[in-house]
Amino acid sequence: MQRIRLRYTKRGRLRFTSHRDFQRAFERALRRAEVPMAYSAGFTPHPKVSYANAAPTGTGSEAEYLEIALTAARDPETLRVLLDESLPPGLDVVEAVEAHTSGLADRLTASVWELRLDGVDPADADRAVAAFRAAGTVEVQRLTKNGVRTFDARSAVVDLQSLPATETHSSRADRPSDQPCAILRLVVRHVTPAVRPDDVLSGLRAVADLAPPVPAAVTRLAQGLLDEETGTVTDPLAPDREAATALNTADRAAAASVPA
């Protein structure tokens, strides 16, 4: 059995796709691409697909991950192209590697988010970010299926910055406006309960009365293992690429040592 790990995106209007909608679309793509999937046992077999830490509905993402199990070996890049062609534009498969290590989900310990706040003056955003960073705790509330829950949104935030628009990832093409626009960059640990970008926005409202006039446009730029020393988020597929390179090097060395 071969395992392939994929990175995919949610862009444009497809950011409103729910995780369940994506699951259905991806399973259709597997069938269209004639991928030799491994299936679970039991009365209702289903493709062996492991989804990891999906972004909330309504947020864009450049870094969603999943793993599939195959019954026959396939070239990862060829498989990536076939799956990407079988999905609608916006749900794009941008990277594929063969799994040579364990614990992909364990390497997803933090995310980098970008929040575009249309109608917010950057100077106001700067003051709100400074107040949030200076706070020891920032209590926010979220409505859950068990009722309203209060928790600290500050402790999970590794870094929060207000950035010039020229240094940002997001485009304003889907929401043109002559109004001011503030851009925030957020690094947050994956904790329980999860602290989401909208929780941080609630925290900014609590500490500095920052309230965007329209909903924020949120995009996950990266997720992976948090480097505690630098506060950066590393690529979770890097260990698999490094292991594949080492195997290829070993195979070439072994082939070269065989007498002609």
Interval 189-236: pLDDT, tens: 999 889 999 999 999 999 999 999 999 999 999 999 999 999 899 999
DSSP 96-151: EEE--SS-TGGG--EEEEEEEEET--HHHHHHHHHHHHH-S--EEEEEETTEEEEE
Q: What is the per-residue pLDDT across 74-87, written as a single tens digit (0 to 9) for each?
A: 999 999 999 999 99
pLDDT tier for residue 164 given thresholds of 50, 70 and 90: confident
What is the mean pLDDT of the segment spanning 160-168? 79
* DSSP β-ladder status, 217-224 and 110-118: antiparallel
Query: 170 pLDDT exceeds 70?
Result: no
Q: Is 8 helix (H, G, I), strand (E, B) or coil?
A: strand
Write down the pLDDT at residue 176.
Answer: 52
For residue 60, the surrounding DSSP H or E stretch is: strand 60-70
- Domains, in order of start, for the chain: 2-106 (3.30.70.580), 109-233 (3.30.70)
Confidence of residue 156 (pLDDT cuts 50, 70, 90): very high
Q: Two tokens at 155?
A: 């402790």
Radius of gyration in angstroms for the set of CA atoms belonging to the chain, rounded to a whole number:
21
**pTM exceeding the 0.85 threshold for the entire prediction:** yes
The C-alpha atoms of residue 218 and residue 225 are separated, in whole angstroms, by 21
DSSP string, 140-184: EEEEETTEEEEEESSTTEEEEEEE-GGG-S--STTS--SS-EEEE
pLDDT at position 260 over 90: no
For the record, the structure tokens of 186 come out as 């957020």
